A and B are shown apart, each in its own frame.
Chain A
Amino acid sequence: MYTTSAYWNPVLETLPREKLRKLQLKKMQRQVQWGYDRSKVYRRLYEAAGFTPDQLKTWEDIAKVPMISKEDYRSAQAKDPFPYGDSLCVPLEDVTEYRQTSGTTGQPVYQPDTWQDWDWWAECWAYILWAQGFRPSDRVFLPFGYNIFTAFWAGHYGSEKLGAEVVPGGILNTEERLLKMKEIKATAFMATPTYVLGMAESCQKKLGFSARELGITKILCAGEPGASVAGTKNRMAEAWGAEVFDHVGATEVGAWGYECSHHCRGVHVNEAMFLLELVDPETNEIITEPEKQGKIVLTAFDRQAQPAIRFDTKDLGMWMAEPCSCGRTFGVLKGGVLGRADHLTKVKGVLFSPLAVEEVVRATPQLGDEYELIVTKKGDTDIITLKVELAPGFENQEAEVKDELARELRIKTNLNYKMEFHPFGSLPRYQVKAKRFKDLREDSH
C-alpha cells in the first residue's frame, strides 16, 4: 500500500550521494543552457562575465556560473513581453500562472509559470507534505487569503496532488476560520508562525476554548523562520497540541526545503530538484564544511518560464554535520534559514541577527508571543529597543522578567537593550509576514 511509504519518492530521496551529485551536475548543465538560450537577462549576465555554458563541465565549474539577484529580475521586467520582459524563457501564451514577490525589499518581482512549472511546484510540495506525515486521509485547512502571492497556492495544489482533502479558508476572518476548522474536523493546517500563534490566542480569547480542542495533528509553517526557532516551535506545538513543521521556499525559486517527521532540528534540501550552495558573503567562495554560516544561493533545476539559476537569496544558513535519522540522503540545513544577510547588521559594533532575539523572547514563558525590535541612533550611540508583552497571569513579574531577559539577551547577542513592557494584546498582530524588526538609524540622523 503506497500510503505506508515514508517517502514521497524513495528513488530520489534515498539516492546515494554520488549519484545525486551526478544528477545535479547533469541538471545544472541543462538549466544553464536553457537560461542562456532562452533568456536575454541570463545571456547578458553570462556574456558580461565571459561565461558560456560549455565551460560547465565538472562539479567545480558550477562556481563559475554568474549569480543572479532579485535586482537583475527587476531591471529585466516591466518591458515587452509585459510584464516579464527579458526574463521570460517561454512564449507568453505558454504562461498560465502569475504570482509576485511581496515587495518587502523593493519593487515586487513578477513570477510567470507554465502549467508544467506549476505542476512542478505541486510536486515539490508533495515531497514536503509527505515527509511531514500528510496523507490522503488528511483534511487540510488553509486559513489564508489566497492572492497574488505564491503562499499558500502551492501548498493547496501539493495537498491535492498527494490526495488530501483541501479546504480553502481565505475569505473568512480568524474566528470564522477557527469555527470552520472545528465544524469540519480539519486534521492539519498551514500558516505563518505568527498567525499560528495568533489563531491560538484568538481561539482562547474570543471563542473561549483552547485550540488544542480542535484536534489538529499537523501544522506546516511557511513565510517566516519561526518553526525552526525552538522557543517559537514549542509555543505553537503547546498551543495546538500538534506536531509543527518548518518549510522553506521562495517565489523566484520554489519550495526547496522541509523538516521531516524525525525533527532533526534542520530542514532537508530537496537536492533532486534544487542545488543549494552556501557562499561566503565576503569572498563568494563555496562553503562545504558543516557548522559554517553562509549565504544561500539556489538553483531550481526544472523550472522553465523564469528560471532561478544561482539565485542569491540573501538568506543565511549552515550545513548540519550529522545526517538525519529518516534515511534521506538530502543534505540538511541546521536550524533552517538563520536570517537574512541584509538583516545581519552591526549594532554597537557587534554583528546582530534579530532572529537571536526571537529565540530568547519565545523561550521566556512569562512573555506573550508578540515583540518588536527597533534600532535607533542617538548621537553616535545605537539604541536597541525591545518591546514585549507580559502574558496573562504574569503582569506583576515585570522586574524579574526584565532581569532574566537582559541576562539571556546579553549571553545570546552580546548587547544591551532598552526594554519596554506593553499591555498584553497591544503590540501589532500579523497574519502574514511579520515586520518586527525596524532599523531606523538612517531616518534618525
Chain B
Amino acid sequence: MAEPNLKEMAAVIKEMRETTTKLRGASDIPAVVKNCDRILASVRMLELDIAEVADL
C-alpha cells in the first residue's frame, strides 16, 4: 500500500468538519443537531489521528 498523503487526508477531514458544522447549524431539529455532534466527535478523532500530524 502506498504511503498515505497526510496533507490530502487532512484537507478531506477539514471539509468533513465544515460540512457537518454547516448541517448542524441548518436547523433546530434535535435529530440533526445531536447526530451532527456525534459526527463531529468522530471528526475530532480523525483530526487527532491524522490532521494534526500533517501540520508538523
Contacts and interface: CB of A to CB of B under 8 A. Distances in A.
Interface residues of A, number: 19
Nearest to A118: B41
**What class of interface size applies to chain B in its complex with A?**
10 to 19
A11 B41 contact: no
Contact of B49 (A12, A26, A27, A116): A12
Contacts, number: 40
Given A123-B48, A302-B48, A23 B53 contact: yes
Interface string B34-45: 000110111011
Given A11-B50, A23-B56, A119 B6 contact: no
Interface in A7-21: 9, 11-12, 15, 19
A131 interface: no
B30 interface: no
Question: B-side binding surface: helix, strand, loop or mixed?
Answer: helix
A115 interface: yes
A120 interface: yes
Contact of A11 (B6, B38, B42, B45): B6
Contacts of A272: 48
A443 B48 CA distance: 50
20 contacts: A9-B49, A11-B4, A12-B49, A15-B53, A19-B56, A22-B56, A23-B53, A27-B52, A114-B41, A115-B37, A116-B40, A116-B41, A120-B45, A120-B48, A123-B45, A123-B48, A123-B49, A272-B48, A302-B44, A302-B48
Given A15-B53, A23-B56, A272-B48, 14 more contacts: A9-B49, A11-B6, A11-B53, A12-B49, A12-B53, A19-B53, A22-B56, A114-B41, A116-B40, A116-B44, A123-B45, A123-B49, A302-B44, A302-B48
Interface of A: 9, 11-12, 15, 19, 22-23, 26-27, 114-116, 118-120, 123, 272-273, 302
